[in-house]
Chains A and B, each alone.
Chain A
Amino acid sequence: MITYALIFAIGCYALALLFNLYRVVKAPGVTDRVLALDTMAVNAIALLVLFGIWEGTAIFFEASILYAMTGFVATVAYAKFLLRGDIIE
């Protein structure tokens, strides 16, 4: 039963990443692209964790912690760049 649930969840997140990718490629404004990239980072964390369950190793946690941190900093840097035209003043 867990295998089917796992396959369902991985399928959902793969589809979600495709939606995000569509939004990155075809967006009306630049803030939408930033938002789509932020959501992409969050979804990638979920995919990493699901793959960790699939493989049965705990080795992907470090990767997902790093992904969470860099994803957040990247979003803040994009937003700061849009606001001020500069990241470190």
Chain B
Amino acid sequence: MELFWEIVISALLVIGGFFGLVGSFGLVKLPDPMTRLHAPTKAATLGVGATLIASMVWFGVYKDDLTLHELMITIFIFLTAPISAHFIAKANIFRDWKQDQLPPPAGNGNWAVHEVESDTSAEELQEAEVSQKS
């Protein structure tokens, strides 16, 4: 049984380290800013998730102290990674991409970055829908 847990923890640690390294290597290797966004948001997130779960199993097996702290950090990182990626992509579009370099959105209107005062909130979505129906 001891050996089984040892193999599980070692495998999780090696997978975590490998994916973390690949994510950061992608940050250096990929050619332009939008593609560079892909590597850290995906690979680094899984790498850190695997490392945290390895730590959780290690404390559960060797210290008899099974806590769900690491699981909470993992979930937090999985929830925040898309949001920070979205923010960075938005800043990048705002700085480097002209309006006619992007495909136009379906329907009328424009991408939110190119509108002057746009904070897409629930009420504004409803108003837009009502004005479209009428």
Contact = CB atoms under 8 A, between A and B. Distances in A.
Contacts, number: 159
Contacts of A42: 40, 44-45, 48, 77, 81
B21 A16 contact: yes
Interface residues on A, range: 35 or more
A53 B55 contact: yes
Contact of A80 (B44, B55, B87, B95): B87
A79 B86 CA distance: 10
Interface string B61-85: 0110101011011001100110110
Given A1-B6, A9-B16, A39 B23 contact: yes
Interface in A3-50: 4-6, 8-13, 15-17, 19-20, 22-23, 28-32, 34-36, 38-39, 42-43, 45-46, 49-50
B23 A16 contact: yes
A83 B94 contact: yes
Contact of A32 (B25, B33, B58): B33
Contacts of A1: 6-7, 10
A47 to B, nearest CB: 9
B30 to A, nearest CB: 10
Interface string B11-33: 10110111011011101100001
16 contacts: A1-B6, A2-B6, A2-B58, A5-B13, A6-B13, A9-B51, A16-B21, A35-B88, A36-B27, A39-B44, A45-B73, A64-B73, A65-B76, A72-B80, A75-B88, A79-B87
